Structure 1
């Protein structure tokens, strides 16, 4: 079931402490699922008019894409457990050492939400491009499959951002997918070097204006328009960093809605 318009949920959120599991899912992924249930979707199989959107009781279908962490099997097991606990059907797109499905586009089209996990955004972008994922994901986005993710899975949708993919010292990445305009900053309240560096990079023109999230917050886009900032952690914020026209920047707070 697709969203009513192309939808991206770009976050520094999604996982919460769990008493028995490595982590559980929080309200952010529940929001992504809610967005995917907006309108019915018909089976993509040519000649079929079966409505897949009529049954609102079926378990939401989530595809976890963990390219940024090298399709780590331990993490995949952990996220499967989190999904089981939350009542989601979760499967994986793995690209190491080869794609785990023959037709990647048809496989991804069968899901309600594509959830991209964190890790190395630089490696993610390189591997995705090698396998033609940017074009596939752009088509699915336009069709209404909800694209969402955390950290590297947030930065990737923008033109660029700040990353530790190259080493311990943060550095710019400027070859994001560009589905969304400008740059994206993540973990702004928990990694002290991110804010000053992204401000420097916006000021000198390396990055375009940036939208940023604290841990627990996310940004909801319809098409290329930012609709709202949301958070699953009370007090987590979001901001926009823009050039001030005189070689510096202005940081503007974005109102944030606390998710239930």
Structure 2
């Protein structure tokens, strides 16, 4: 079973502290599995931790979260080498690819070396749901604001571009994020940009934004566009469905 259309869930959330474990999957990751349409067997989730350097201790927590959810979780480690010569086939065996947070600049550089962009595009077109948090959200877009280079945010524009927009994450929890996005959109460095507060996610079918969702009681989502006559950024809130 695969999603009936190419599907991406781009978020600023997905994990929470567990009751008896360090980590549990929150509602956004469960929603990604729902979007895949899998039923009648254990869902297969591929976790990608490139942005944090494939930290094995973190992967152990993610594996444990998968056990609690009743899913099969595997990890696409690129350090020190990929798990197989057939990455396209290996990734395509999963229902969901979930990309973790960290440095989006480093993630994109490492993915380029291994040709992972083409692998993920093929999986997306074949119905594997692509999702992720923070760096794992920005990567699907043209680019966005990042602290990959230091505490003063910079804008990257070499994202995979499956979605022809900019992306803003942690919009409500990090004060520099909103002004950085507004400046980038106003100057034309980023195109129309879609943003999420912590706990919120954006669902895309193909390249079309179809829904904003949140695993929190709060958690907004926004579209920022350039007003051509004034050369300023204009922000509009989206309706958000609570999961």
TM-score by length of structure 1 reads: 0.91
2-structure distance, mates of 1:182, 1:114: 20
Question: Aligned with 1:64: secondary structure?
Answer: strand
Asked if 1:230 is matched to 2:213, the reply is yes
Partner of 2:119: 136
Partner of 1:119: 102
Q: Mind listing any 5+ residue stretches in structure 2 that lack a counterpart?
A: none
2-structure distance, mates of 1:29, 1:204: 34
Q: Is the 8 A contact 2:12 2:198 kept in 1?
A: yes
2-structure distance, mates of 1:211, 1:188: 10
Alignment of 1:97-176 (within 5 A): 97-176=80-159
Cα deviation code 1:112-158 (max 9, x no counterpart): 00010001001110111100111111111111111010000000000
Alignment of 1:17-166 (within 5 A): 17-37=17-37, 56-166=39-149
Q: Is the 8 A contact 2:223 2:238 kept in 1?
A: yes
Runs of 4+ aligned structure 1 residues displaced above 2 Å come to none
1-structure distance, mates of 2:76, 2:165: 27
Question: Aligned with 1:189: secondary structure?
Answer: coil
Partner of 1:249: 233
Q: How far is 1:57 from its partner?
A: 2.8
Q: How far is 1:95 from its partner?
A: 0.4
Q: How far is 1:102 from its partner?
A: 2.7
Question: Aligned with 1:29: secondary structure?
Answer: helix
- Which has the larger Rg? 1
Cα deviation code 1:54-92 (max 9, x no counterpart): xx2311000001011110011100111111111111011
Partner of 2:202: 219
Partner of 1:47: none
Question: Aligned with 2:33: secondary structure?
Answer: helix
Asked if 1:8 is matched to 2:8, the reply is yes
